[in-house]
Structure 1
Amino acid sequence: MNNKQILIYGAYGYTGELIARQAVAKGLKPILAGRSAAKLQPLANELSLPAIAASLDDEEALAHALKDVAVVIHCAGPFSATAEPMMRACIANGTHYQDITGEMSVYQMAHGMDAEARDAGVVLCPGTGFDVIPTDCLAAALHKEMNSATHLTLGFDSDSGLSPGTAKTSIESLGVGGAVRRNGKIEVTPHGELTRKINFGRGEKFAVAIPWGDVATAYYSTEIPNIEVYIPMSPRRAKKMQKLNAFRWLLRMKWVQNWMKGKVDEKVRGPSESQRSQQQTWVWGEVRNDRRGERRVGRVVTANGYDVTVHGSLAVLEHLLSYTGNGGYFTPSKLCGHELVEKLPGSGAIKMSID
């Protein structure tokens, strides 16, 4: 495994640095890469690793960076802007691609590049972090439990804080709205429109549907045509979200987006190691076939989202380093099996019930 080159792009970001440090702890020697040499070199020096500064809009520099690289872990967001050039560079250079995005548009883009990747023998597997390993694996396990399911609902309850990158991704969705899948098609919904009560694993809570990545990926994993994803939220906050619907036009404007993202740069820092060690995540899912009156519920408890991202991305990396299968687009569960989440540090077993 260690004689195959791996590259972490965006290694000086909050999550990219966590992944780089854990890779070294596992005995790996990744190449660290990113746009800024000044930000990259201090970490590379500290970890005694090679570093390459390369802009994603420089095809020649990217091709040089990817020479003899077997797998890329792409950590530089916003992925709506950065994923496509890296995926295309990986396809052109025969390098397997994975990233830690939660952006639905990236999953759709990668799915649309399936044929190109398959012809090149390259795996495209975006979403190898908390977005979307736990929910995707639970969705696949629930589908195995009830392969006749027509409806899939997923959700998670977490106390984890936001990293700067995750906060900026959330800002991008404010001007768009929510999203669900209906009869196989993704539909945009108003903020806060869909609510229900869910016991994620630590008591029943009021919850609101959000435009989580599984609206795309769980369909690719299971082909279940109706999908929703929920998080707990107070009714008061849900009403505030609903009020945002009148201003979605404003929240889409570039200057507003840039202003809000600037505030993130000023104020948001990722959770510390001690904070992460005290945080768990409760992941819940439900499949139904209403015509048959059938329902199953699944739950799994994981570590906090950032530790899941670190260990999950490296687990997929190790799988790809010894991978001999076909290229193409994959979800994490399609590539590694739904058991992947259970193998991560801090995770329990997936448990099924009919409650």
Structure 2
Amino acid sequence: MNNKKIMIYGAYGYTGELIAREAVAKGYRPLLAGRSSQKLQPLAEELGLPAMAVCLDSSETLERTLRDIDVVIHCAGPFSATAEPMMLACIASRTHYQDITGEMSVYQLAHSMNAEAKAAGVVLCPGTGFDVIPTDCLAAALHKAIPTATHLSLGFDSDSPLSPGTAKTSIESLGVGSAIRRNGEIEITGHAEFSRTIDFGRGEKFAVAIPWGDVATAYYSTGIPNIAVYIPMSPRRAKKMRRMNRFRWLLRKQWVQDWLKRKVDKSVRGPGEEKRAEQQTWIWGEIRHDRRGERKIGRVVTANGYDVTVHGSLAVMEFLLDYKGPGGYFTPSKLCGYELVERLPGSGQIKIGID
């Protein structure tokens, strides 16, 4: 097991560091990598690990570095800018790729590179964290319950605060809007345009649709043509979000985006270990076949999103270290099976029934 080589790129970010520390605790010795040697060195010295600074725009150096690597866990966002060069380098060096993105555009990009990855025998599996392991696995389990379903709704309820990277990704979506999938196509909608009342697992709550990664990935996992993802939100906040739709043009401006992200750098810190241990996440899903009147509800409770990301990424990494199958693009449930979420520390069993 430990003779295989792993790279964690973006290891000095909040989540990258958590993954690196847990990898060492499990007996692995990953190569820590990122753009800044100054930021890499303290963590590498503390953990006794090798480190290498390499920029993603230096494709030849990156490919050369990856030739001896079996699996990359890519943790450096924004993934809309960093995923493509890393995926291309992984395909060229025949290195399996996974990341912790939540950005729909990255899932669409990986899906579009399926043929190239398959020809190289390389697995591309973005979204091996909280986005999208729990919801993707629940979607796959629900699809097994109603294989001919026409509609899928997913959602989650969590008290966990945002990490800096997740907060920045959320800022990028402010100027774009929300999204659903309708009749097989992704449709950009206004913020909080779609709402409903949902019992995620701890009582009914008002919820709104968000541009979560499953709008892309659940379609790749299930083929269901109509998909939406919800989170709880107070009606008052939803009203503010709807007002914000008038200013999406302004929120797309680069100077506004940069200003908001600087505020994140100054004020947002990921939760500590003690805080994470206190938090759980309630995952919910509804699948239905409208014409036949079939409907089922699924739920699963997991640890907080950051611990899911750490343990989920390492579980997929371990799967890929022993992987003998074909290359190509995979969602987590397509690669490892929908039971993946149930195997993660702090997760319960998926339960499907009729509410």
Query: TM over 0.5: same fold?
Result: yes
What is the alpha-carbon distance in structure 2 between the residues aligned to residue 244 and residue 118 of structure 1?
42
CA-CA distance at 1:69 after TM superposition = 0.3
TM-score after normalising by structure 1: 1.00
The 5-angstrom pairing of residues 283-294 of structure 1 reads 283-294=283-294
- Could you tell me how far 1:67 is from its partner in structure 2? 2.3
SS state at 1:69 partner: coil
Tell me the residue number matched to 1:158: 158
**Residue aligning to 1:264:** 264
Confirm or deny: 8 A CA contact 2:96 2:320 kept in the other structure. Answer: yes
Q: How many residues align?
A: 355
Q: Which amino acid aligns with 2:174?
A: L
In structure 1, the partner of 2:199 is: 199
Shift of 1:50: 0.4
Deviation at 1:130, TM superposition (A): 0.1
- Say if 2:347 is the partner of 1:340: no
Cα distance in structure 1, aligned partners of 2:116 and 2:286? 34
Find the aligned partners of 1:102 and 1:277 in 2 and give their Cα distance.
22
- RMSD value, Cα: 0.4
Segments of structure 1 that go 5 or more residues without pairing to the other structure are: none
Mapped partners of 1:321, 1:80: distance in 2: 26
Gaps of 5+ in 2: none
Output the amino acid matched with 1:58. S
- Hey, what does 1:282 align to over in structure 2? 282
Alignment correspondent of 1:14: 14
1:79 aligns with 2:105: no
Deviation at 1:93, TM superposition (A): 0.1
- The separation in 2 between residues aligned to 1:161 and 1:269, in whole angstroms, is 9
Matches within 5 A, 1:94-243: 94-243=94-243
Q: Residue 101 of structure 1 aligns to which amino acid in structure 2?
A: T
State whether structure 2 residue 59 is matched by structure 1 residue 63: no
Question: 2: distance between equivalents of 1:73 and 1:160?
Answer: 23
- The 3-state SS of whatever aligns with 1:326 is coil
Deviation at 1:76, TM superposition (A): 0.1
* Shift, 1:148, TM fit: 1.1
Query: How far off is 1:64 after superposition?
Result: 2.7
Q: Structure 2: which amino acid aligns with 1:225?
A: P
Greater displacement, 43-52 / 62-71: 62-71
Give me the whole-angstrom Cα distance separating, in 2, the residues matched to 1:191 and 1:167. 16
Name the SS for the 2:324 alignment partner.
coil
C-alpha distance in 2, partners of 1:255/1:91? 34
Counterpart CA distance in 1 for 2:326 and 2:67 is 21
Deviation readout 1:40-59 (Å, 9 max, x if unpaired): 01100000000010000001
Shift of 1:336: 0.1
Deviation at 1:61, TM superposition (A): 1.9
Q: Aligned partners of 1:65 and 1:250: how far apart in 2?
A: 41
**Moved >3 Å (runs of 4+):** none
- Structure 2 match to 1:41: 41
CA distance in 1, matches of 2:18, 2:243: 37
**Partner-residue secondary structure (3-state), 1:2:** coil
2-side partners of 1:18 and 1:336: how far apart? 22
Query: Which residue of structure 2 lines up, in the alignment, with residue 296 of structure 1?
Result: 296
* Residue 201 of structure 1, CA deviation: 0.2
The one-letter code of the counterpart of 2:130 is F
Give the deviation of 1:60 after TM superposition: 2.1
**Which amino acid in the other structure matches residue 148 of structure 1?**
T
Query: For residues 149 and 84 of structure 2, what CA distance do their matches in structure 1 show?
Result: 33
SS in 2 for 1:45: helix
Counterparts of 1:63 and 1:329 in 2: how far apart (Å)? 20
Q: How far is 1:353 from its partner?
A: 1.1
